[in-house]
Chain A
Amino acid sequence: MAERASSQLLPEQAGAAGGLDATEAVSRTRLVARRFVRRRPAVAGLVSLALLFAVAYLGPFVIPWQYDQLDTNAFLSPPSAVHWFGTTQTGFDVFALTMRGLQKSLIVGLLGAVMSTALAAIVGAFSGYLGGTLNTVLLTIIDLLLVLPSFLIIAILSPLFRDHTWLVFVFLLAAFQWMVTARIVRGLTLSLKEREFVTAARFMGVPTWQIIARHILPNMASFLIIDATINVSSLILAEVGLSFFGFGVQPPDVSLGTLIGDNAGAALSYPWEFYFPSGFLVALILAINLVGDGLRDALDPNAVFQGRR
């Protein structure tokens, strides 16, 4: 179609491959970023989350106290210039403890969420794509895990990993978190599997694992990102809940849960012991949920454009 009889009419047009360059589309990442930024609460959440991270990891370097260091000159002292958040009955610095707890909660939440979403994605995608016996087996496992009371089981198992690293605890938390996501991933896979680009890859002879890794999972990335974000907050809450009752993170290590649990009784008499860790927990969960909401709205292609920029 290069040699056209009419080209003498308009020779300079011969090379024009269409108006592609004139209508450069906005890239998807930029579009999502733009939509996200437009939502004030989401931005506020993201900023708070960044600040919490910074405080949790940089805070301990600023103050002279460590979380496991006693100040024998100050027992149960209220917040002051020396001990910003006051001290506990045994003389631990509450700021140092809270920062340590915050670090632990952030790590548990992030690590656990990544693990649970990854597991859900793999199980859901394979079960949906391959179907058959594998699907039946995996679905049975999912259903079984869904009816088990996770809190009770972790509580019962907690003596077993008392002497091991807290990572085991994260594994356990994640192991009870992925099932619902896996079912949704399976459903999404079933519909993606029928899409022509997957069929096309199959007719090219692309192996199954590669189809899942290249075509199926990336196409549900928005769902997985949102799911992981929401998982972070529910995992943090699960960890806090277990630690509150003494089944989670074990002393001498601390988490926000153990701090809140240990100091709940002091909420009225020595409020700094209780309200600082609780306040950070609330702020953290709120920030993550705001970011999750913002991401969901920004990634959802069906969100109506409001006309604001």
Chain B
Amino acid sequence: MTQVNERASGADDSEPLLDVRDLSVSFASEAGVVSAVRSVSYRLRRGEVLGIVGESGSGKSVSSLAVMGLLPPHAKVSGSVRFNGEELLGRSDRELSAIRGSKISMVFQDPLSALTPVYTIGDQLAEAILVHQDVGKDAARRRVIELLTLVGIPNPEQRATAFPHEFSGGMRQRVMIAMVMANNPDVIIADEPTTALDVTIQAQILDVLQTARRATGASLILITHDLGVIAGVADRVAVMYAGKLVELGAVDDVFYRPRMPYTLGLLGSLPRLDDDERRPLTPIEGQPPSLVALPPGCPFVPRCPLRIAKCSEVEPTLDALPRSGAGHSAACHRSGEVEERGLTSSDVFGVTPTPTAPGASQPRAQRATMLEVRDLVKEYPLTKGALFRRRVGTVQAVSGVSFDIRAGETLALVGESGCGKTTTIMEILNLVQPTAGTIVVLGRDTARMSPAQRFAIRRDLQVVFQDPLASLDPRLPIGDILAEPLATHGASAEACTRRARELLELVGLRPEHANRYPAQFSGGQRQRVGIARALALEPKLLVLDEPVSALDVSIRAGVINLLERLKVELSLSYLFVAHDLSVVRHLADRVAVMYLGKIVELGDVGEVFRRPAHPYTQALLSAIPRPDPQIERRRRRIVLGGDPPSPADPPSGCRFRTRCPKYAQELDDEQRRRCVAELPPLEARTGSDDHVDACHYAAVVPVL
């Protein structure tokens, strides 16, 4: 992260490496012609990093696939793509193959599907080299080892003979990057390279990408929806909306002086990790337009608070902003005005003040306990054999987790995938006796519950799932979906209909939409339906399983604000599971950090984020990219080495020690022995009673 900023500033006169002009892509579909990319133009200079941000369906991936010539044959592509002065569009697949992989390479989002499962990693890498270079097999082999070393794969000689499924997601993405580097390309296109990965792994991969760029001297096009990733890596940023570039400029200009209302809204709608007070988010109302039969004018009009009559008539072009930095341009009729008045996102989109709970002033200890989990253990048997299954081992997905939730409180459970947070909430929702430990929901122990009591408790304990498309039955109209819990708990048909309408209004949807199907709604609206269903029975405790992580950035803020409002209006308590710490910072009162089935730190969210004591919490916090270029450039990341160990075979003593930077760098042998031998208990070590951690050598290190 150190040498990011040798930016190719003012090199406008030099010949661009990649010159994309008026690139348009359209597809025929059942509904009509989809204009996925509409007249996109940009230039990529040698050694530059261009970040392309946009929501799903904004055309960011399609435009780069068009550059690579990788679109399916039924896509109509027009415009011009010049690479080193040579036109790429209209060339045959054979001609393009000579350029693809050797001059322009691509890193895909999903490293599992990008690697062939039946060949070893070494063979696949060697293939990439042999296709484009006239070298012997031995030379290719040596280069493979060299590349694997470069991207940080331990034991490269041995690992080259392994198959893709033997690698973790992060390791596979490293292999993909090695493959991309194999032929020293001039341009690397990375399409959401870290989206499928955990934050600590994301930090590693971003580092490797920088290494790759330095080693090959290539320019990089980084496509992502994550403004934080862009802020730290890119020199210039292009913002896409509805298939068009709406703002383009140097990273500082776009992040600190956005001039297109969409960019303003996007930045304002992001929850920030470093907010001390709860800053209300400014959601962009509505949803991105359908790309079929776009009306004339600016596609952002229906969502734009600054729209004037002209906006619906003439689509603005991407024009240079006279007062801004070189190369900063925006596609908005009123960007001049925005510039003049220095409007910010809260000026444009308005601010809803965050409501505060009336009971929040009451001390925590005096409030009623909604949920109490003590030493929860969940084991899964590992079996072998198809006909006669025998047990060969045990996976302890959750091993001894304790926490409680008081009335009106939000507890966030955070951690990387596989840490056991989902297992924990599923155990709570199943309302059965766990492998060990106790779960007490609203004063009732799940181990001693009769079926009738369990059914009654379900009224008070409801869940909102991560993916609203998966959690709503596609075959039922949403009115029926909302009525289902009510009918199950004995409401009359008439009462169901009335309540369904009420619920739709409560979550900001129109009651008339009750007879529509989930597929007719956008992601954010579907999640609102999911929330409405969970609220149908007026529960007291709501379990939220990553409720916003499947949503687009601009829609996220609206759902977060809704959850905050509902919590106060209906005096709910939330158990909130997330991997996105910025959302946690915004929504939660207390936070529990999990690692490999154990809680490593637990406390008030402000306290834990400001004064993290456990090395894992510190690493997690430092790994989150923040949408602020200056902070991103300045700060140092604590990059954790390796992958989380398998829960089937956890390390002895402290489970984090295999990846712990403190264990590796600061401790002497005597101290390390304690980490290996002794499991650190969860206790208060920082002076505050409400802030506990599980590290023998806990020390507060502020990382934000």
A residues touching B (Cβ–Cβ < 8 Å)?
1, 3-7, 9-10, 13, 16-20, 22-28, 31, 34-35, 195-197, 199-201, 203-207, 210, 214-215, 218-219, 221, 305, 307
Contact = CB atoms under 8 A, between A and B. Distances in A.
Contacts of B475: 215, 218-219, 221
B548 to A, nearest CB: 15
Given A19-B302, A26-B30, A204-B488, 10 more contacts: A1-B558, A6-B347, A7-B350, A22-B289, A25-B519, A197-B473, A203-B429, A205-B459, A214-B473, A215-B473
Given A196-B470, A215-B473, A307-B28, A20 B489 contact: no
A123 B574 CA distance: 40
Interface string B89-105: 00000000000000000
Interface in B471-518: 471-476, 484-485, 488-489, 508-510, 513, 517
B78 interface: no
Contact of B352 (A4, A35, A210): A4
Given A24-B520, A25-B520, A221-B475, A17 B509 contact: yes
Contacts of A26: 30-31
Contacts of A16: 285-286, 302
Contact of B465 (A18, A19, A23, A200): A200
A203 B463 contact: yes
Contacts of B476: 214, 218
Nearest to A198: B473
Contact of A3 (B352, B458, B561): B352
Given A3-B352, A9-B306, A205 B30 contact: no
B302 A10 contact: no
Contacts of A215: 473, 475
Contact of A204 (B74, B350, B458): B458
A7 B520 CA distance: 28
Residue of A199, A201, A205 with most chain B CB atoms under a 10 A cut-off: A205
Please give me the 6 A-B residue pairs with the lowest Cβ-Cβ distance, nearest first: A6-B350, A4-B350, A196-B471, A5-B350, A23-B290, A205-B458
A307 B29 CA distance: 7
Interface string B206-222: 00000000000000000
A200 B561 contact: no
Contact of B348 (A3, A6, A205, A307): A6
B697 interface: no
A13 B470 CA distance: 31
B287 interface: yes
B272 interface: no
Nearest to B29: A305
A210 to B, nearest CB: 8
Nearest to A10: B305
Nearest to A192: B473
B352 A1 contact: yes
A252 to B, nearest CB: 47
A221 B475 CA distance: 10
B349 A6 contact: yes
B333 to A, nearest CB: 14
A14 to B, nearest CB: 9
A18 B509 CA distance: 9
A210 B286 CA distance: 35
Contacts of A31: 30
Interface string B417-442: 00000000000010000000000000
B260 to A, nearest CB: 16
Contact of A196 (B459, B465, B508, B522): B465
Contacts of A13: 285, 305
A305 B28 contact: yes
Given A23-B290, A204-B458, A219 B352 contact: no
B525 interface: yes
Contacts of B463: 200, 203
Contacts of B351: 4-5
A25 B520 CA distance: 6
B406 to A, nearest CB: 22
Given A19-B289, A23-B289, A205-B489, A200 B349 contact: no
Contacts of A218: 473, 475-476
A196 B473 CA distance: 9
A32 to B, nearest CB: 11
A308 to B, nearest CB: 9
Contacts of B521: 20
A215 B558 CA distance: 29
Contacts of A18: 285-287, 302, 522, 525
Residue of A27, A196, A197, A210 with most chain B CB atoms under a 10 A cut-off: A197
A13 B305 CA distance: 8
Nearest to B286: A18
B414 to A, nearest CB: 21
Contacts of A6: 305, 347-350
B159 interface: no
A196 B289 contact: no
B312 to A, nearest CB: 12
Contacts of A203: 429, 458, 461-463
B305 A206 contact: no
B657 interface: no
B339 interface: no
B508 A1 contact: yes
Nearest to A201: B484
Residue of A17, A28, A210 with most chain B CB atoms under a 10 A cut-off: A17
Given A6-B347, A214-B473, A206 B562 contact: no
Interface in B269-314: 283, 285-287, 289-290, 292, 302, 305-307
Contact of A197 (B31, B472, B510, B519): B472
A20 B74 contact: no
Nearest to A24: B520
B349 A10 contact: no
A205 B286 CA distance: 34
A203 B441 CA distance: 14
Contacts of B302: 16, 18-19, 22
12 contacts: A1-B562, A7-B350, A20-B513, A22-B302, A23-B292, A25-B31, A200-B463, A203-B458, A203-B462, A215-B473, A218-B475, A218-B476
B455 interface: yes
